[in-house]
Amino acid sequence: AQSVAQPEDQVNVAEGNPLTVKCTYSVSGNPYLFWYVQYPNRGLQFLLKYITGDNLVKGSYGFEAEFNKSQTSFHLKKPSALVSDSALYFCAVRDQNSGYSTLTFGKGTMLLVSP
Amino acid sequence: DVKVTQSSRYLVKRTGEKVFLECVQDMDHENMFWYRQDPGLGLRLIYFSYDVKMKEKGDIPEGYSVSREKKERFSLILESASTNQTSMYLCASSSGQAESYEQYFGPGTRLTVT
């Protein structure tokens, strides 16, 4: 079975400061990992993914994420937060050994960036 | 860009009604998915389909059925709507090609059952 944990329901950060949104995962094999963002009353937008290769993955809107196999983590980061980054963020995982293309999503972390 | 559209943004139905939610994608994706999103519970997979006329149950299929008669269209059916099916419903699609597993989402349908 595959699972994802987002340990923080909410993260608060001031504009201009670096931000981190945490994600840990559990799979039986190797993981495929994803981050999505959801703005109010909208669907989820794909930000970035880790499939293989470099542990640091760069994505849309200046976001990046670092894959850490030993800690089974895939934290989302941004060097300088913007007020417009305020949204709900979801981490997702798929086990490479899975026969289907389903993803398991975390419960989401609300990011609030204050001016 | 991938575009996934859903037939309604907001829908209000009465208990016991049969409800159809439609989803269409324009990227020739093999896989399509229906989720419901509830506060504090994240996204939960209802059903998915990996080919025309094929369907698989997700984590919470009870009270729902699906139909995929054409590759681009995936319908979610609530046979007899109940108040506990009030939720945000999200449709998604993804390619069947290796390493292209990211899903692309529609804008969602907020369903209220009274």
At A5 the pLDDT is 96
Q: Could you give the CA distance from residue A43 to residue A107 in angstroms, rounded to a whole number?
A: 15
Q: How confident is the model at residue A52 (pLDDT cuts 50, 70, 90)?
A: confident
* Contact status, residue A13 vs residue A111, Cβ threshold 8 Å: yes
When CB atoms are compared, the residue of B31, B94, B106 closest to A43 is B106
Q: How far is CA B84 from the centre of its chain?
A: 17
Inter-chain touch A107–B42, beta carbons under 8 Å: yes
Q: Is the dihedral angle over the CA atoms A96, A99, A102, A107 positive or is it negative?
A: negative
pLDDT digits 0-9 by tens, A12-38: 999 999 999 999 999 988 899 999 999
Residues of B with CB under 8 A from a CB of A: 4, 31, 33, 40-43, 45, 48, 50, 56, 58, 90, 92, 94, 96, 99, 101-108, 110
Rg of the Cα atoms in chain B: 13
> For B7-29, what is the mean pLDDT?
95
Average pLDDT over chain B reads: 93
Q: What does B23-82 look like in DSSP terms, one character per residue? A: EEESS--SEEEEEEEETTTEEEEEEEESSTT--EE-S--TTEEEEEEETTEEEEEESS--
Q: What is the pLDDT of residue B2?
A: 65
pLDDT tier, B98 (very low <50, low <70, confident <90, very high otherwise): low
- Residue B29, Cβ neighbours under 10 Å: how many? 22
Residue of A nearest to B48 (CA): A102
Q: What does the H/E/C string look like for A46-108?
A: EEEEECCCCCEEECHHHCEEEEECCCCEEEEEECCCCHHHCEEEEEEEEECCCCCCCCEECCC
Query: What are the chain B neighbours of A34 within 8 Å (beta carbons)?
Result: 101-102
